[in-house]
Amino acid sequence: MTETAIPTRKSQGAVLALGLIGLAVAVVAVSFFSVTVGARPVSLDTIWQALTAFDANSTDHRIIWDLRLPRTLVGLMVGASLGLAGAVLQGATRNPLADPSILGIHSGAAVFVVLGVAVFGITQLSAYVWLAFAGAGAAMLVVYAIASLGREGATPIKLALAGAAMTAAMQSITSAILLTSPRTLDEIRFWQVGSLVGRGMDVVTQVAPFLAVGIVLALFTARMLDGLSMGEDVARSLGQNVNRSRAVAGLAAVVLAGGATAAAGPIAFVGLTVPHVARAITGPNYRWILPYSMLLAPILLLGADIIGRIIAPPGEVQVGIVTAVIGAPFFIALVRRRKLASL
């Protein structure tokens, strides 16, 4: 039995590795279409010239460098971050419905952005990034502090309940401010629904360091998540510090989801559905679930962004709306076909 198991595991690993290569190729392909597809048709020759010999006086070149390329890069980073954040949160909390909103990350970011616009009159998107990141981190710290009260510490149920309470409270504050301040609503309406429109290289450079750290930290948690997935008692018997593992996983999730939300607003369903797709392909091993989620999510996000550009010309539908339309029925199908409780 042992002699046949080893080749089987090796063959499965080879197949999964080939799958990662295929997904990497798909990411390159969808990135290509993200740069080439838009309201204004731009030829491939012009795109190549813009990338290799930029002319500041050319409108087409400026469209590529100032609009489409930064938008694509933000989509890649945000997608990878949301996919990883969702997988990490589902593994750390053992909750199949966990996504970045479960710890109040989206709602905390929204409150800080709304307060910044309403109270301090901030209108620059580059400032939104820092406000949203600070709000996401603050919300996560409060949720974890509340859930840690008591002898049992931050259990999955307490984290979920504290996150739900924080989300409800923050959403109430956000709604109250927006209802009383039409100017604030007008300023953040696109950010609030989740959008890649208008993101420049300044946003890319601001969030990239945080997201890079978050990605490395999330991939580092794979072994911890494998232990947690077997239950707290088994993890402790294997010498794992459960509370510390959850704290590291939570830190990775808040850095990833906070940075992603700061850059593109609260985009739903990506962090929720993608880890289930990855798990259906790879099985329960988080050493494969995490990289698969990291590659599947930007394919979904950029694909949704491309669809949003072409379905309502000459305008476009924001990516947060498209992912919700795609993700909701897809997740319902997952719920009907798979036992989501078995993480």
Select from 164, 158, 143 the least CA-distant residue to 254: 143
* pLDDT over 60 at 124, yes or no: yes
DSSP characters over 55-112: -TT-HHHHIIIIIIHHHHHHHHHHHHHHHHHHHHHHHHHT-TT--GGGGTHHHHHHHH
Q: Which tens digits make up the pLDDT trace of 133-188?
A: 788 888 888 888 888 787 776 676 787 788 888 888 988 998 888 888 887 777 77
Residue-range domains of the chain with CATH:
2-337 (1.10.3470.10)
- Between residues 329 and 297, the one the model is more confident about: 297
Percent over 90 (pLDDT), the chain: 24
* pLDDT over 80 at 314, yes or no: no
Q: How far is CA 65 from the centre of its chain?
A: 24
Q: Which tens digits make up the pLDDT trace of 13-40?
A: 788 999 999 999 999 999 999 999 887 8
Token pair 């609030």 is found at: 192
Give the number of other CB atoms < 10 A from CB of residue 250: 23
3-state SS string for 142-208: HHHHHHCCCCCCCCHHHHHHHHHHHHHHHHHHHHHHHHHCHHHHHHHHHHHHCCCCCCCHHHHHHHH
Res 337: pLDDT: 63
Omega cis (within 30) before 314:
yes
Over range 208-227, report the average pLDDT.
Answer: 91
Q: Which tens digits make up the pLDDT trace of 33-62?
A: 999 988 788 888 888 888 888 888 888 888
Judge whether 48 and 35 are in contact, CB under 8 Å. Answer: no
